[in-house]
Amino acid sequence: MPFKIFEGASDKPLRIAGVAMAAGMSRNFNVYTTEELSSFAPLLVGAPVYIEHVTVESAAGKVTKCIYDSTSRCLLYEAEIYDPTIAEKIRNGLIQHVSVGADYDALDLVDAKVPHGLSHPELSLVAIPGIPETNIQVLEHFIKQKVPDDQTNEVELREEKTVGLIAQKVAEKLNQKQTAEFEILRKEATETKIKLTEAESKLKTVEEALGENKNQLLNANKALEDMREQLPNASLFLKPSVMMLVSEHILVLESLVPPAMVERSSMGMQRQGQAVRAAILVAKEKLRVK
């Protein structure tokens, strides 16, 4: 069974012990600190034991002992169950967990809730606990006859040994859990490091490509400036002005030169021919300079 029972004669209450609370985050996203549990332990002594945090009508017993164990970082409790029906369900393993209810003076809200100043506690027998480590252990059976006075110390030593074994097992279980969680975190950290290295490599590649594009842009701007110097009247707008090569302009002018016979006739084409030849000479001079 997940807990032990100290049980006296048939008319005695059922005695149980186990883990009441553990430091860390509960399923309800409450974070319990070791300092808070340490100061809360004596307050739990004498608290009633309910069924599923209901009402006083469901009271089945009370807490008789509670200590904070620094090794397992847990509250270890002992309690007496007076309800015979509930005691029988515990013996048969039908009830295996407990849950602590309490008020608090202050609450820090971070990614979870961190209560401070726990008070007015109660311990409940539950099906699904808020803290998975909580349990009930049935303490070993006593002989039904009355225990002689000279054996009282021996019984107390057996009780202390049993509680010590409970604390040791809880500590081992928590250590295994923490080791598994550490391995998961280590694996995630390794994967994150690999992804970070890949991201840095991609970033370096992008930076190199950006630098190359920047150089290409500088070269393109320089080429545009050179074009502006070579073609001062040219435009880089969407619809630039129509331009003609000097060589094409010369061909057009040469086509306008009248034939020699017509130029020397009385039709007056001589002056026109001279003007066209002069324009051709000017165009050829520009072409030679370029």
Model confidence pLDDT, tens digit, residues 174-199? 667 777 777 888 888 888 889 998 99
Q: For residue 233, what pLDDT band results from cuts at 50, 70 and 90?
A: low
| Residues 173, 181 contacting (CB under 8 angstroms) | no
pLDDT averaged over the chain?
78
| pTM higher than 0.75 | no
pLDDT at 157: 53
Percent of the chain predicted with pLDDT > 70 = 74
pLDDT at 258: 78
pLDDT at 64: 92
Q: Is the pLDDT of residue 63 over 60?
A: yes
DSSP per residue, 70-118: TTTTEEEEEEEE--HHHHHHHHTTS--EEEEEEE-SEEEESSSEEEES-
Alpha-helix residue ranges (DSSP H) falling in the chain: 34-44, 84-91, 152-230, 246-256, 260-264, 270-289
Q: Is the pLDDT of residue 45 over 90?
A: yes
Q: For residue 234, what pLDDT band results from cuts at 50, 70 and 90?
A: low
pLDDT at 66: 92
- Over residues 123-130, the mean pLDDT reads 83
Domain boundaries, the chain: 5-186, 246-289
Eight-state DSSP code of residue 276: H
- Over residues 66-86, the mean pLDDT reads 90
Q: For residue 8, what pLDDT band results from cuts at 50, 70 and 90?
A: very low
Percent of the chain predicted with pLDDT > 90 = 9
**What CATH code is assigned to 5-186?**
3.20.16
More confident residue, 59 or 130: 59
Question: How far apart (Å, rounded) are the C-alpha atoms in residues 129 and 139?
Answer: 21
Q: Is the pLDDT of residue 5 over 70?
A: no
